[in-house]
Amino acid sequence: MPARAASFRSVFAVAEFRRIWLAQLLSVAGDQLARVALTVLVFDRTSSAGWASAAYALTFVPDLLGGALGGIADRFSRRIVMVVTDVGRAVLIALMAVPGLPLPAAAALLFFVQLMAGPFHAARQAMLPDLLDPDRLVVGQAVISSTYQAGLVVGFGAGAAVVTGLGVPGALLIDAGTFALSALMLRFGLKRYPPSAPRHHRRPSLIAGCRLVARDRKLRWLLLIACCCGFYVVPEGLAVPVAAELGGAGALPWLLAANPAGSVLGGILLSRIPRERQVRLLGALTVASSLVLIPTGWAPGLVTIVVLWTISGVFSAHDMITQTQYGLAAPPDHRGQVIGVAIAALRAAQAAGIAAGGLLAQVVAPTTAITVAAVAGAVVACVAGAGWTRAVSSRRGPEGLGDPVGPVGGTTPVGEHRS
C-alpha cells in the first residue's frame, strides 16, 4: 500500500527550507520590481511601447546563458554561491537607481542581474535534496513552483503600484534591499554545504553537463519531458493576439492569469499524491498539458479558452515531479552542473516554442497556431512519457518506481536525506 504523501507542515518544519523559501519570495519580488521599473523607465524616456516591450523581453535572455553557469554550484559552497549572487544583484540594482543613468547602461546592469539568477537557482535546486528526503522533496518543489507562479500572477500589479508610488529610483532601491535581505537570511540561516565536486573538477561547463545527462537514460527522458513546456507555453506568447481575435483587450488579463493560476492549483493537488504514484502519472500529465489545448483552435469563446488554459496549467504542475526526479537522479557531485543544463534547455525550449508560435500565427489564426503547437506537443510528450516509463521500469529498489537511484550502470544512490 503506498505511503501517504508528505504534508506541507512537515516540509516547513525544516528550518533551512523555510529560509530558502523566504529568500525565494524576496527574489521573485525583486525580479518583478526590476522588470517593471526598467520598462517604465524606458517608456518614460522614449515614449515608445515597442522599446518598452523590448526592454522587458531583454530581462529573460540572460536566463538562457545563466544556466550554463550552473556548474559553479558544484565548485563552491552552494550557500556561498547564493549569497554572493544575491549581494551582486543588490549592488547592480542599486547602481541602476543612480539618477540620469543612460538607458544602455541600465539595460546592461539588468542583463547581469538576470545572468546571476542562473547560478543562484542551480545552487538552490542542488541543495534541496540535501535538506528534504525524497517524499518531502516533491512537496517542497510544489511550494517553490507555486510561489513562483503566484509571484507572476500578482507581480505585475504589485510592481506597478510600487513604481507608481515611489518612482523608479525608489522602487529599485527597495529591490536592492530585497536581495540584500535575502543574502543575510541565507548567510546566517543555512549550513555551509561544501562543494560536492571532486577536486579535479575545476572547470565545470555546459558541455560537460550535457555529457552527464546524455549518459543517463533517466535524466535524458526527464529533460525531454521538461522541454515539452516549449509547446504548452505558446498560449502565453500569443495571449495578446488571441485576445484581439476574441474581440477585446478585456480578455487579456484572464488569458495571462489562466496558466499560472492553474499551475498553483495543480501543485497543491499533486503534492497530496504519494510519490510513487506521481512518478507513474508523470508521462500522462505531460501529454495532457498539451492535449487539453487542442480545442483552442476552434475559438470556442473566452470562457471556454480560459478554462482550457487553466486546466493545462493544472496538468503542467507535473514540472514539480520532473524537477524532483531530476534532482534525485543527478550525480550529487555534479548536481549543480546537471541542473544548469536543465535551466538552459528549458529557456531555449520556451523561447523556440514562443518564436515558432509567433511565426505560425503570421499565416494562420493565433488560436489555430496554438492547436498546431498542442498537437505537436502531445506527440512529443507521448514519446517522452513512454521513454520515461521504460527507464523507471528497469530500475530495481525497495519501493519500485521512482526510487532515487544513481545513473544507469552506477551504484551510488543520490538524493538521500542528509539534513
Which ranges of 271-365 would DSSP assign to H, the alpha helix?
275-291, 302-316, 319-329, 335-360
| Alpha-carbon gap, residue 49 to 39, rounded angstroms | 9
Work out the percent of the chain whose per-residue pLDDT is above 90: 19
Q: How confident is the model at residue 291 (pLDDT cuts 50, 70, 90)?
A: very high
The per-residue pLDDT for range 104-117, each reduced to its tens digit, is 888 788 788 878 88
The C-alpha cell at 412 is 551510488
**The residue type at 382:** C
Is 234 within 8 Å of 357 (Cβ atoms)? yes
Q: How confident is the model at residue 59 (pLDDT cuts 50, 70, 90)?
A: low
| Alpha-carbon gap, residue 207 to 392, rounded angstroms | 26
The per-residue pLDDT for range 263-276, each reduced to its tens digit, is 888 888 888 888 78
Q: Which domains does the chain have, with CATH numbers?
A: 13-195 (1.20.1250.20), 204-394 (1.20.1250.20)
Q: Which of 81-85, 190-194, 264-268, 342-346 has the highest mean pLDDT?
A: 81-85
3-state secondary structure of 1: coil
The per-residue pLDDT for range 7-24, each reduced to its tens digit, is 778 888 888 888 888 888
pLDDT top residue among 412 and 75: 75
- Residues 242-257: what's their mean pLDDT? 77
